[in-house]
Structure 1
Amino acid sequence: MSFDVFVFDLDFTLWDAGGTWCDATNPPYVWRNNKLLDRSGRWISLYPDVIAVLEELKNQNKFIAAASRTYEPEWAQDLLNLFDIDKYFDTKEIYPASKISHFKKIRRFLDVPYQRMVFFDDEYRNIEDVSGLGVEAIFVRNGIDLKMVDKFL
């Protein structure tokens, strides 16, 4: 079955914020020697396949959404901009709340049923919550990659 909406958590799914969550980093962020660093020198990096995944989904006319429960939504938005990936997202739900709340808003905004959505996240509690809605929820260990996403196209 192919899906219409691909939803991604941010921390440990699209990027690694120096081994922590983006809300535990220390902005402002700066590019230095092709590395994005926070004020304390923590390296924040996209996982290697992220751009290729987002490009492929756009090429196939899929909706792309972000669902993150970070306590610092502005910092997450800064990272989306600095990595130049914000342009791929059709909608974003980035604020401290249940992923169920995020998905209700995504469904309403895109007008696509849960059964046509696939979600990628690194936390089991989120996978369990969102699966209960009827969303195909995939546990991510070390960031997304093309192989993980291709099977849902």
Structure 2
Amino acid sequence: MILPALIVFDLDFTLWDCGGTWCDCLSPPFRMQHGRLVDRGGRQVRLYSDVMQVLDFCDKRQIVTAVASRTEQPSWARELLQLLEATHRFAYSEIYPSSKLKHFESLRTTTEVEYDRMLFFDDEMRNIHEVSGLGVTSIFVEDGLTQSVFDDGLQRFSKQHA
């Protein structure tokens, strides 16, 4: 199987669920309460159940990972990643309100990985269409990242590069 040089993940509704909303709609402060990460209103923020397994796969195969999020509250997203003990899992982070095209341009420049060697997971079709136009293999995540969606993405990437 041919593996990507860089795998990029969106945050909201791709890697995590923030109580059914986007992270920039939460209400800080964030805190751990009875083993759960919650905002001031008690909305739970949690990684989808297969996310750590997916990140372990990437680590074992030395695939570089990044996050790209268009959130209006970048500091909140970074804090949530830290509280979920996931920050160290991503070598690169593009978290700011802008087009995913800008995020990927920055990632390509910083990592020196060409677009056709990247794999991207996101829950918004507009982002999938935009980033696909760059030559990035882009996978739509309908209901949170699962092992099955991830495996399908790897297969699609590999077939495109065979």
TM-score interval for Structure 1 and Structure 2 normalised by the shorter chain: over 0.9
Q: Match of 1:2, SS?
A: coil
Distance 1:43 1:133 in 2: 35
Runs of 5+ consecutive residues of structure 2 not aligned to the other structure: 156-162
The CA distance in 2 between the partners of 1:149 and 1:123, in whole Å, is 16
Matched, 1:102 2:103: yes
CA distance in 1, matches of 2:36, 2:88: 20
Question: Which amino acid in structure 2 is aligned with residue 6 of structure 1?
Answer: I
Indicate the percent of aligned positions where both proteins have the same amino acid: 48
Normalising to structure 1: TM-score of the pair?
A: 0.97
In the other structure, the counterpart of 2:30 is 29
Report 1:84-103 matches (<5 A).
Answer: 84-103=85-104
After TM superposition, give the deviation of residue 16 of structure 1 in Å.
0.5
Distance in 2, matches of 1:147 and 1:4, equals: 20
Query: Displacement, 1:148?
Result: 2.0
Query: 2:144 aligns to what SS in structure 1?
Result: coil
- Map 1:1-153 to 2 at 5 A: 1-151=2-152, 152=154
Q: One-letter code of the match for 2:31?
A: V
For 2:124 and 2:148, the matched residues in 1 are separated by 20
Cα distance between partner residues in 1 of 2:122 and 2:150: 12
Distance, in Å, in 1 between the alignment partners of 2:71 and 2:3 is: 29
Q: How many residues align?
A: 153
For residues 149 and 110 of structure 2, the distance between their equivalents in structure 1, rounded to whole angstroms, comes to 26
RMSD between aligned residues:
1.0
- Of Structure 1 and Structure 2, the greater helix share is in 2
